[in-house]
Amino acid sequence: MPKNLDGRLVVAISSRALFDLEESNKIFEEEGLERYVEYQINLENSPLKPGVAFPLIRRLLALKDPVTGQEVVEVILISRNDANTGLRVLNSIQHHKLNITRAAFTSSRPPYSYLPAFQADLFLSANPDDVSVALQHGKASATLLTGPEYEDDESPEIRIAFDGDAVLFSDEAEIVYKTKGLEDFTRHEVENSEVPLMPGPFKGFLVAMNKLQTMYRDSGEQPIRIALVTARQAPSHKRAINTLRSWGVTIDEAFFLGGLDKEPILSKFRPHIFFDDQRSYCLSASGKVPTGHVPSGIANK
């Protein structure tokens, strides 16, 4: 176990994002805290089923430096449970053989203030309030939406899909679209095609994933695949590409859909997580793939 987290990609995740705790949460909401505590303690030796983010987390934890063989990703459980009721989650981590050794139990307090202490690059939660506050404090964060059970497989490949505006990029262009319409948006983007967009909340996470990809480049294997799935279309695609180029970032696949539904593309790419700021796109996608809503930008004001 390292004495610090320097040089590692750090993902902070809530228990409801990692495991299926919908039944437990329903008991908490309908019957109260006392009944919830009793329920969790009575079942603390009954392993929880995998949740929305489980396929992603399992694969991230398996990543190792191809030269040293050391783990390169640290996953930290951050839960609103207390340690007493959180024991079932820890037992489930052990049951599923996940190499998660660090945890924080906040006893209902918002977890955002602990994210910098853990050097978190990404925060995944099922609590939209926690995600919103963490995002406001500068942490890449997303609310995991539950949908039909994701049919996982044994492939070690990690596939991550990002929307562009208000996720990887700022919402500066989306503001033009929302306030002035498509024609002015297209004109604005063509005129500024060589001017990089300002970073969005997930730029840092994308750069961190790109560094991991670079680490594998000389080894002849590439376990990470990244896609941009955006409503942009030609000619506004050029500014997005130039922005990524200015960051020194490469992506594996890019889809410029011109407002088409993203779900058919995502069904083929099958990401282990898809990040988007538009809730309508998220709701459509969550029926097919693990999806994280990023409450960022003008679409969420």
Structural domain spans, the chain: 9-145, 158-300
- What's the pTM? 0.93
Mean pLDDT of 279-297: 94
d(CA 198, CA 172): 8
Q: List strand residue ranges (DSSP E) for the chain, in order.
A: 9-13, 73-79, 102-105, 122-125, 141-145, 158-162, 224-230, 253-256, 273-276, 291-293
d(CA 297, CA 277): 7
Give residue for tokens 């228990």: 15
pLDDT range class, residue 117, cuts 50, 70, 90? very high
pLDDT, tens digit (0-9, with 9 covering 90-100), for 168-217: 999 999 999 999 999 999 999 999 999 999 999 999 999 999 999 999 88
9-145 CATH fold: Rossmann fold (3.40.50)
**Same fold for the pair 9-145 and 158-300:** yes
pLDDT, tens digit (0-9, with 9 covering 90-100), for 56-103: 999 999 999 998 989 999 999 999 888 888 899 999 999 999 999 999
Do residues 78 and 12 lie in contact, with contact meaning Cβ atoms separated by under 8 Å?
yes
Q: Which residues are catalytic?
A: 163
Q: Which CATH number fits domain 158-300: 3.10.129.10, 3.40.50.300, 3.40.50.1000, 2.40.10.120?
A: 3.40.50.1000
d(CA 278, CA 166): 9
